[in-house]
């Protein structure tokens, strides 16, 4: 991964930071709606209301803004998840809070799904980085839960990708496709599956 973000933010004025963020927000909208290959730098700058020369002060290429956008989106929702989980004590309540924070964040960033899927064709390493970065947080949390006896002693990586898949597809089904929040009943059923499983044992 490049150091573009750190290098470009160093020494920027408040106005410069706002302009840079405006370009990123506009890119998120257009990449999400039209796709990377159908989007031009000219369209991003026109929609953002900045000159092309100004754009190149922050991002040397179209791919550079795409890469930075994915890194920023990843960082933003992982931060929201981290903050939500830190308020809880047990592994179960932490996971529930983390999922809830992600689904709430996703409502205002539905284009995340489209943008991430595009990265398969734009930069496969960036696509892989995105998911591995999410997995790191899950694995750390699962390892801790295993050590404290709150989780079965399974492969933390296997569990992590299973949990990631649940979040991915529940968010896609309701937030991305339906443009709504994940219904409470759906959220409760998801948590039921994660923490109690699917086996149904008849009493008596």
Q: pLDDT tens-digit profile of 39-65?
A: 999 999 999 999 999 999 999 999 999
CA angle, residues 64, 67, 68, in degrees to nearest 5: 85
Q: What is the pLDDT of residue 199?
A: 85
DSSP 8-state symbol, 2: -
As for how many domains the chain has, the answer is 1
For a pLDDT cut of 70, what percent of the chain falls above it? 93
| Domain enclosing residue 28, as ranges | 4-196
Is residue 203 included in any domain, yes or no?
no
Is residue 156 included in any domain, yes or no?
yes
Is residue 138 included in any domain, yes or no?
yes
Measured between alpha carbons, how far is 80 from 54 in angstroms, rounded to an integer? 31
Is residue 42 included in any domain, yes or no?
yes
Handedness of CA 91, 96, 102, 105 (dihedral sign): negative
Residue 187 sits in a domain of what CATH number?
1.10.357.10
| pLDDT level of residue 4 (50, 70, 90 thresholds) | very low
- Rounded to two decimals, the pTM is 0.89
Count the neighbouring beta carbons within 10 Å of the beta carbon of residue 19. 19
Is residue 202 included in any domain, yes or no?
no
| pLDDT level of residue 202 (50, 70, 90 thresholds) | low
DSSP 8-state symbol, 202: P
Is residue 204 included in any domain, yes or no?
no
- Extract the tokens encoding 187: 């959220």
């Amino acid at each position: 991964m490049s150091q573009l973000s750190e290098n470009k933010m160093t020494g920027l004025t408040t106005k410069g930071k706002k302009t840079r963020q405006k370009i990123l927000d506009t890119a998120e909208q257009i990449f999400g709606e039209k796709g990377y290959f159908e989007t031009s730098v000219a369209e991003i700058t026109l929609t953002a209301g900045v000159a092309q020369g100004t754009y190149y002060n922050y991002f040397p290429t179209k791919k550079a803004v795409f890469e930075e956008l994915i890194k920023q989106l990843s960082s933003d929702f992982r931060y929201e998840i981290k903050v939500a989980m830190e308020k809880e004590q047990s592994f179960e309540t932490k996971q529930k809070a983390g999922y809830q924070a992600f689904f709430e964040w996703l409502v205002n960033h539905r284009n995340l799904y489209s943008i991430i899927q595009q990265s398969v064709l734009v930069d496969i390493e960036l696509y892989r980085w995105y998911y591995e970065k999410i997995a790191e947080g899950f694995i750390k949390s699962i390892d801790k839960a295993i050590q404290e006896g709150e989780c079965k002693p399974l492969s933390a990586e296997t569990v992590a990708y299973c949990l990631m898949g649940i979040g991915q597809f529940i968010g896609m089904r309701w937030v991305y496709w339906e443009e709504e929040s994940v219904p409470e009943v759906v959220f409760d059923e998801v948590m039921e599956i994660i923490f109690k499983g699917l086996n149904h044992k008849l009493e008596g």
